Amino acid sequence: QVQLVESGGGLVQVGGSLRLSCAASGTIFSFAATGWHRQAPGKQRELVARLSIGGSTTYADSVKGRFTISRDNAKNTVYLQMNSLKPDDTAVYYCAGFRIGRWDTWGQGTQVTVSS
């Protein structure tokens, strides 16, 4: 089965940028879509960005205009470019794959902390 591994998280100041990476051990095209989710302590997990197998993208209103999801097909890797970061962006970010009607494959998560 495909495995996903996230990297690129860290500590950044308000207004800064980070790029997260999600490397797949198998082809990412085994999924109908890939996406990035985040979860802050005490808060609901939130889908922030989605990329379909055909290349269409969807973003949560909270990140629209600031975050960009993309992929490198040759490297079998999905990215999340995060700009103009805010304290409310602080969370653990997870890469996931969607198939058969659900997000069924998840990475281990990477911490993003935005300091005021």
In angstroms, the CA 16 to CA 82 distance is: 8
CB 25 within 8 A of CB 2: yes
Nearest to 80 by CA among 105, 102, 53, 112: 112
Q: How confident is the model at residue 28 (pLDDT cuts 50, 70, 90)?
A: confident
Edge-first strand listing for the sheet containing 18-24: 4-7, 18-24, 77-82, 67-72
Cβ atoms 49, 27 nearer than 8 A: no
Residue 91 CA to residue 111 CA, distance in Å, equals 6
Whether the predicted pLDDT of 55 surpasses 90: yes
| pLDDT single digits (tens) 87-115 | 999 999 999 999 999 999 999 999 999 99
Q: State both tokens at 73.
A: 């097909």
Which residue in the block uniquely carries the two structure tokens 């879509």? 33
**What's the DSSP call for residue 111?**
E
